[in-house]
Amino acid sequence: MRYWLIGLLFLVACDTGTTSFSGGKELVLSDTSRDASCTYMTRNAQGQIVVSWVENEQLYYAVSPDEGLTFSKGKLIPTTSGIQAHPENMPKMVFRPNGEVIAMYGTQSGDPRNKYAGKVYYTRSVDAGANWLPAQPLVTDTASYDQRYFDMALLPSGEAVTIWLDNRKNDTKEGSTLYIATTGKAPGFQKERQIAQTVCQCCRTALYVDADGGLHATFRDIINDTIRDMVHIVSADGGATFSPPVRISADNWAINGCPHTGPALVKNAQGLHFAWFTMGGGQGVFYCQSPDNGITYTRRESISALPTAKHPQITALKNGDLALVWDEAVDTSGSRIGIQHKAGNGEKIAAGFITSADAYANFPVLKTVGEGKVLVAYKKVKGKREEVCVQLVTL
């Protein structure tokens, strides 16, 4: 199968009906003398915002003591190396309540059976990041030569859980298998097992734990051999069992290729909320919701006027409102970060952009900070360098 990136660019003027958001000063977190990419955002055990990124094939992170106003200098995780800097397969970190920190990342596999194959490694710190243990492979089974597009989260028990795409499967159908593993009594991840098959081989997966302990996974599935639409599964028992995959939207995107743009989800009092990219029945970033925990889904709605919109992320604010971010190519030399503010029921309140059209900024991630604010991190091209930037945005 040939893997390829869909990159249709459209010449447009400017979007209409947008709102100017109040953005704070753009901060550059990475070393400006080196290329940086693969932004990710989480919180540590003390509740502080942590932004991580890749520089020189290693993982760095910075901590904010004041909800995104300032950040510490980027700190290297020395036991990471050979990271493949793919913004849809970005490294991730989890900070467990017991002081353990886990950093997970992907490398190239170099396996002759698949030139695109990757390997997933993780490294642990048992003292809140002061020292790091040697990196180890997520999978030790020699039948597995390709692991990619992982996600991690914390369970209510304080254990960490991860999902990833794996070449191991029980049939000859197109696609990868979605695996899951959790931490437990022994160090590291254990009890790996399959939870879904025929998954699109190169789109980011999304793992989310809701306030009730429900474990949700969303990914692009391959349906009837040709259709690559987003599906949702949920576990009420900590990942021991999952519901059957259900399409969040019948886009019917028939494509023999890989879009390299995955889904995002979050839950508030009104239900589950999803954002994703498709070229089925229209092109761009779309949104829908499920008021009943994945039984039914609302009709999708387009998030951006431009069909080049991709790579969405979504979060819930403290009051239950929603914020979505994405990137969109404006022409052949520019890309900007879009943002939309929604009410808790999904109704649009405002939309706009936090970077200029000629800035070439993309792959945003976000976290709620304070009341009515989000912190957005993204990659931005400046001169001949790629930088990791953050910006506080008031909705």
CATH of residue 251: 2.120.10.10
Task: Report the pLDDT value the prediction gives residue 358, as an integer from 0 to 100.
Answer: 85
What residues have CB less than 8 Å from 212, skipping those under 6 apart?
A: none
Is residue 12 domain-resident?
A: no
Q: Can you give the residue range of the structural domain that contains 340?
A: 22-394
pLDDT tens-place values along the chain, 395 residues long = 333 333 333 323 333 345 557 667 899 999 999 999 999 999 999 999 999 999 999 999 999 999 999 999 999 999 999 999 999 999 999 999 999 999 999 999 988 888 889 999 999 999 999 999 999 999 999 999 999 999 999 999 999 999 999 999 998 999 999 999 999 999 999 999 999 999 999 899 999 999 999 999 999 999 999 999 999 999 999 999 999 999 999 999 999 888 899 999 999 999 999 999 999 999 999 999 999 999 999 999 999 999 999 999 999 999 999 999 999 999 877 899 999 999 999 999 999 999 998 889 999 999 999 999 999 999 999 999 999 999 999 99
Residue 370 main-chain phi, psi, to 5 deg? 60, -155
Is residue 1 domain-resident?
A: no
Question: How far is it, in rounded angstroms, from Cα 90 to Cα 135?
Answer: 16
Is residue 4 domain-resident?
A: no
Of 41, 27, 23, 38, the closest CA to residue 367 belongs to 41
Task: Report the pLDDT value the prediction gives residue 350, as an integer from 0 to 100.
Answer: 96
Question: Tokens standing for 272?
Answer: 């589950």
Q: Which amino acid is present at 241?
A: T
Is residue 10 domain-resident?
A: no
Is residue 174 domain-resident?
A: yes
Task: Report the pLDDT value the prediction gives residue 22, as an integer from 0 to 100.
Answer: 62
Is residue 17 domain-resident?
A: no
Q: Distance between terminal CA atoms of the chain? A: 43
Is residue 175 domain-resident?
A: yes
Q: How far is CA 251 from each of CA 248, 266, 281, rounded to the nearest angstrom?
A: 9, 21, 6
What is the number of domains present in the chain?
1
Is residue 16 domain-resident?
A: no
34 exposure class (CB count in 10 Å sphere: 0-12, 13-18, 19+): exposed
